[in-house]
């Protein structure tokens, strides 16, 4: 990744001179214009040259020239224009541009404690194959995880009727603390050991470039590329699964932090000297609302002791059934978790002022977690003097959305390379 380092700028050797932020050289924060043209067309589905020029505020001549290069590289194709087909004076239908879907394919994989999911998408971002792989609810060694991911990839390729060489890259979403630029899992609840070079090991096995990120980040990418966040500049995604995850989009971009390990909402403290979290510290939000927190309480209050065959999932379902059946202890467990979640969400709103907070993940089936009383509590804990509170959206999308988000990690990277003009058409 080509990151701008302020230290590279010699002018800083005389800090007493000048003022104002030290910005990267012009243009390096935005993608090159050729990629902007491509991204613009992909985000609209199809668009005419003149509309691209108007939208990007550049001359039609430059757009025509960049589009010719993208057509020659096999990344775009000409299609009929949007709307009713009128003919021009010369009798030709108006021509729009669209992404050439078969220009390339990438795979996305979400690695999880119970089921790994995967999807292959084409260059227009449309899914062409999917697969799942069930696994034991265990923390595992990286060798086994690499085996499982590769098996899943093979299943997807079989379903798509493709060979591995048809893929350009693989994106992987992994729970835990992930150093995305270096592809290293600093810590993951599904992996034994610390500082594991997941991208490098997966890439060596798969024979493909691999990009790894925290799973909440890939889910946020899915919201940004396909979901309710497509047109929003600033929004937050909060996920509840085995742990509590968060992704933040600022100015239409995923924000990861200086070392790419930010947004650990689950480990923000909601109680001094509180409940023990699996990170080893006390009072983390996650220690009150995640699966293992609910299961811990369930085993005490309901005498639901985990036997050898019970997974966390089975325990949770049992707890949820009892709550629905009117068991007051079971209800109080969800209610308490919901109140802590309200504290966490209010903190997110107070800190970031997002347009929308999207609550996502399979646990959103447990509607106690976002009942009106939870949202009321969240609003009560948010500073509200004249402030506009964000919308809260509940999104119980299935696991494949995470995989699709992981695929966008790979698709973004491949798009950047290919629109830079380094590689010929597939
Ligand atoms: Zn913690």
- Concatenate the DSSP letters of all residues of 230-279 into one string: TT-SSEEEEEESSSEEEEEEETTEEE--TTS----GGGSBSSTT-SBPTT
What region does 144 belong to: left with phi over 0, alpha with psi -120 to 50, or beta? alpha
| Cα of 128 from ligand 1 centre, angstroms | 38
Q: pLDDT of 36-57, one tens digit each?
A: 999 999 999 999 999 999 999 9
pLDDT at site 235: 96
The residue assigned the tokens 């709307």 is 83
Domain shared by 173 and 275, yes or no: no
Domain shared by 121 and 35, yes or no: no
Domain shared by 308 and 363, yes or no: yes
In a domain, 1, yes or no: no
- How do strand 356-360 and strand 253-255 relate by DSSP bridges? unpaired
pLDDT at site 307: 58
Residue 347 structural domain: 228-397
pLDDT at site 426: 40
Q: pLDDT of 207-230, one tens digit each?
A: 999 999 999 999 999 999 998 889
CA-nearest of 67, 95, 71 to 81 is 95
Domain shared by 236 and 378, yes or no: yes
In a domain, 424, yes or no: no
Neighbours of ion ligand 1 (CB under 5 A): 267, 277, 279, 281, 284
- The total number of structural domains that make up the chain: 3
Q: Which of 31, 65, 99 is the endpoint of a domain? A: 99
Describe the strand order of the beta sheet including 46-47 as a list of residue ranges.
46-47, 95-99, 76-80
| Cα of 68 from ligand 1 centre, angstroms | 52
Domain shared by 94 and 107, yes or no: no
Domain shared by 77 and 122, yes or no: no
Q: Which of 70, 99, 128 is the endpoint of a domain? A: 99
In a domain, 426, yes or no: no
Q: What is the CATH number of the domain that holds 37?
A: 1.10.10.10
pLDDT at site 353: 93
In a domain, 276, yes or no: yes
| Cα of 191 from ligand 1 centre, angstroms | 17
Domain shared by 168 and 38, yes or no: no
The residue ranking higher by pLDDT, 309 or 140, is: 140
Domain shared by 318 and 330, yes or no: yes
Domain shared by 142 and 95, yes or no: no
In a domain, 311, yes or no: yes
| Cα of 280 from ligand 1 centre, angstroms | 6
Domain shared by 83 and 153, yes or no: no
Domain shared by 369 and 248, yes or no: yes
* pLDDT value at 202 more than 90: yes
% of the chain surpassing 90 pLDDT: 61
| Cα of 374 from ligand 1 centre, angstroms | 22
| Cα of 302 from ligand 1 centre, angstroms | 25
| Cα of 246 from ligand 1 centre, angstroms | 14
In a domain, 425, yes or no: no
Beta-carbon contacts of residue 22 (< 8 Å; ≥ 6 apart):
6, 9, 11, 12
| Cα of 266 from ligand 1 centre, angstroms | 6
Q: What is the CATH number of the domain that holds 267?
A: 3.30.420.40
Q: Which of 47, 79, 99 is the endpoint of a domain? A: 99
* pLDDT value at 194 more than 90: yes
| Cα of 207 from ligand 1 centre, angstroms | 35
In a domain, 121, yes or no: yes
| Cα of 243 from ligand 1 centre, angstroms | 9
Domain shared by 245 and 217, yes or no: no
Q: What is the pTM of this model?
A: 0.88
In a domain, 60, yes or no: yes
- Categorize the per-residue pLDDT at 423 as very low, low, confident or very high, splitting at 50, 70 and 90: very low
Query: 122-147: b or e for each residue (b if 16 or more CB lie within 10 Å)?
Result: bbbbeebbbbebebeeeebebeebbe
């Amino acid at each position: 990744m080509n990151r701008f380092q302020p230290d590279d700028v010699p002018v800083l050797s005389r800090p007493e001179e000048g003022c104002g932020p030290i910005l990267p050289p012009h243009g390096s924060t935005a993608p090159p214009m050729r990629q902007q043209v491509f991204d613009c067309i992909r985000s609209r589905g199809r668009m005419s040259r003149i509309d691209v020029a108007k939208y990007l505020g550049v001359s039609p001549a430059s757009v025509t020239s960049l589009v010719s290069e993208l057509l020659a590289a096999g990344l775009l194709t000409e299609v009929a224009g949007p709307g009713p087909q009128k003919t021009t004076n010369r009798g030709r239908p108006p021509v729009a541009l669209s992404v050439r879907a078969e220009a390339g394919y990438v795979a996305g994989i979400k690695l999880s404690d119970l089921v790994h999911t995967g999807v292959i998408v084409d260059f227009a971002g449309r899914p062409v194959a999917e697969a799942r792989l069930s696994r034991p609810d265990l923390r595992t060694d990286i060798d086994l995880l690499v085996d499982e991911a590769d098996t899943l990839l093979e299943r997807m390729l079989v379903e798509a009727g493709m060979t591995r060489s048809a893929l350009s890259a693989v994106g992987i979403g992994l729970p835990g603390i992930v150093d995305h630029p270096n592809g290293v899992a600093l810590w993951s609840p599904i992996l034994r050991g610390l500082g594991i070079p997941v991208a490098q090991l997966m890439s060596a096995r798969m024979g493909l470039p691999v990009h790894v990120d925290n799973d909440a980040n890939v889910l946020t990418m899915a919201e940004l590329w396909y979901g309710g966040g497509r047109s929003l500049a600033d929004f937050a995604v909060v996920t509840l699964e085995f742990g509590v995850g968060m992704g933040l989009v600022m100015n239409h971009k995923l924000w990861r932090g200086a070392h790419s390990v930010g947004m650990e909402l689950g480990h923000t403290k909601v109680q001094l000297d509180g409940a023990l979290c699996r990170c080893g510290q006390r009072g983390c939000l996650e220690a009150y609302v995640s699966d293992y927190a609910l299961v811990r309480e369930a085993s005490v209050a309901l005498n639901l002791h985990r036997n050898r065959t019970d997974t966390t999932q089975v325990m949770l379902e049992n707890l949820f059934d009892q709550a629905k059946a009117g068991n007051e202890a079971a209800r109080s467990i969800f209610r308490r978790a919901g109140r802590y979640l309200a504290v966490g969400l209010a903190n997110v709103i107070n800190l970031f002022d997002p347009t929308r907070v999207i609550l996502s993940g399979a646990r959103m089936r447990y509607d106690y977690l976002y009942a009106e009383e939870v949202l009321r509590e969240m609003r009560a804990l948010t500073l509200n003097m004249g402030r506009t509170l964000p919308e809260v959206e509940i999104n119980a999308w299935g696991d494949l959305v995470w995989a699709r988000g992981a695929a966008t990690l790979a698709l973004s990277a491949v798009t950047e390379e290919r629109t830079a003009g380094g590689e010929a058409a597939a």
